[in-house]
Chain A
């Protein structure tokens, strides 16, 4: 398993707020291999951002408590001291967000921000760093990079800013890039440009990417493997083919069926998932999806299901997935043979 870059085991993130204690990430386990793009999907509030920020321990100490393991390069990131984790943040793992202005420094030119990171991490001279910064801007598809390097973030358009942020994130040559909904605020034609860029960078730099999104279309486009989150837990993990061709968890199935497809039947009603996600302060005792699940029974309400490894690449957290699958295949058979 030497090709595993990041290995997360039973990760929990607890917040202690004025109103009490919530567990936003509750026992998450998955890994990312070298040069692999893993998608994290789920609806808003399911813990995608908290999980990804936990990897870099970005929350203010004192209000938060982490449990479990985040193994990276043979070390558990949760065990590192401040200085050590800072080094990982700058050197090995980079993060990009939906809003580039939250990461870009408004008072420095784009070129300077990249150059500084290069000087810091690659032992380069100022002149070398400036040249490399321009190279990076070109790599992320910014036209006339010599000129753009001298501009401030707020002078760039949305798409260009996103690219500039990616360039800054790449400046330290990270082994892992965590991208938290970087295309969500962008128009589809600009999103297409950024997804293309991500694909190319992944190939050229052999960099692992965790790509967080609520858009299953983006996942299908970019990732080779996906984890699906619901209310702080991973309910399913699968390869892209498994996820779309044979989703096992009722939540995954519901999500996929709820999307209006470009070739769907327009006159038909869309599939819906009844109800809404409960707040973290009222997490159900048994299966967290039980209140919304069409297959829930007493067992589901009483106790949380274990994670079952269905194939080498597909895992599911559901008591009844085999029964559900059999029924669905049965129905499919009837359709095929009748």
Chain B
């Protein structure tokens, strides 16, 4: 096993930051609809998120990565109670979001905003963009009509759109511009945290890089924290300070970005990284080809959920669930290979 080294400056940076949102043992199980014939069968569940814990620090970007169906989006939505959590806590400003409702929950949703892959579907096609962007201000009773328009104009320019875009309709915008609108809408109420679910996944690389740069600028301009969800290893590496790797509803590894890429320890992370094709000549590399298929989250494997595909699986992996433990500064892993 390789030894762990962390730059001390990096360590300092992580230690000194305050926690903004703490996610503790979150579970989300979706009940599976039974057909009429199955009425006397036991209720089964899709175990979309299963006992996930992590924290988002002030000013950082926390990346959540993993392949489709591993529970990234469900995690993001559950945090804001957009879907009802099954178990767990999400501590924000000393309070558990999951226990909030009404006015208090609305206040949290003002501070924590979501950005989706395709903001177009949630934009009213018959409304001018400016009006759509003003809506949250109206709802929260902020400013006079004139002030609202000014706020929107300012946000538009911050996300790299022009003032004239205020008067345009959603269909008049390209994919990249729509994502700028999605960001403008998320920013209008001056949030602290953006939960971004695959925000650049639908974009071509030349547009993707424009948006990724914009995210960096906005983060420092608005003092934001990000929860950045993506299936793309290169993108997640570029934007994140720390990264959590998910597999089948579980967080299997978590580490500061440079540490994770220099020293991936979980067999799944290793396979995932080795599978990324590198855009360079002579980069053909040894890939760890994972055997078999992703098991169903309705009936996940016992013990370690990865044991059916893990090249290093041992007997105990089939029986015992590996616990998340810290094996170096900030580097957490849930795998029996690293049990002392």
Contacts and interface: CB of A to CB of B under 8 A. Distances in A.
Q: Do A and B come from one complex?
A: yes
Interface of A: 43-44, 143, 157, 159-160, 187-193, 195-196, 214-221, 240-241, 243-245, 254-256, 258-262, 264, 266, 269-273, 276
A216 B279 contact: yes
Interface residues of B, number: 42
B36 to A, nearest CB: 22
A269 B212 CA distance: 8
B206 A255 contact: yes
Contact of B280 (A215, A244, A254, A273): A244
B293 A272 contact: no
B269 to A, nearest CB: 11
Contacts of B258: 266
A262 B237 contact: yes
A260 B237 contact: yes
Contacts, number: 119
A192 B276 CA distance: 8
A216 B278 CA distance: 8
B284 interface: yes
A262 B277 contact: no
Contacts of A219: 279
Given A241-B282, A266-B257, A192 B275 contact: yes
Given A189-B290, A262-B237, A276-B176, A240 B206 contact: no
B204 A217 contact: no
A196 B208 contact: no
B275 A188 contact: yes
Interface in B230-258: 231, 233-235, 237-238, 257-258
14 contacts: A188-B231, A188-B233, A188-B277, A189-B271, A191-B275, A196-B289, A221-B277, A258-B205, A258-B206, A260-B209, A260-B235, A269-B216, A272-B206, A276-B176
Contact of B276 (A217, A240, A271): A217
B272 to A, nearest CB: 6
B99 interface: no
A262 B261 contact: yes
A44 B233 CA distance: 21
Given A214-B205, A259-B205, A261-B234, 8 more contacts: A189-B272, A192-B277, A220-B284, A241-B282, A245-B281, A262-B276, A262-B278, A270-B212
A215 B233 CA distance: 13
A73 to B, nearest CB: 31
A62 B68 CA distance: 41
Contact of A44 (B204, B235, B261): B204
Contacts of B204: 43-44, 214
A215 B293 CA distance: 24
B96 interface: no
Nearest to B217: A269
Contact of A262 (B205, B234, B292): B234
Contacts of B174: 276
Interface string B260-290: 0100000000011011111111111001011
A143 B67 CA distance: 22
A241 B67 CA distance: 30
Given A188-B233, A192-B287, A266-B237, A261 B275 contact: no
A290 to B, nearest CB: 15
Interface centre among A44, A218, A219, A262 (most CB of B within 10 A): A262
Contacts of B261: 262
A187 B205 CA distance: 18
A188 B276 contact: yes
A243 B281 contact: yes
A160 B292 CA distance: 10
A220 B277 contact: yes
B279 A43 contact: no
Interface in B26-57: none
Contacts of A221: 277-278, 283-284
A187 B271 CA distance: 12
Of B280, B284, B294, the most chain A CB neighbours within 10 A belong to B280
B209 A270 contact: yes
Contacts of B281: 220, 240-241, 243-245
B100 interface: no
Given A188-B67, A192-B289, A269-B213, A215 B277 contact: yes
Contacts of B235: 260
Nearest to A44: B204
B276 A195 contact: no
Nearest to A141: B289
A228 to B, nearest CB: 13
Contacts of A187: 67-68, 231
A170 B233 CA distance: 32
A180 B206 CA distance: 21
A192 B213 CA distance: 29
Nearest to B216: A269
A193 B156 CA distance: 44
Contacts of B289: 189, 192-193, 196
B287 A196 contact: yes
A261 B67 CA distance: 19
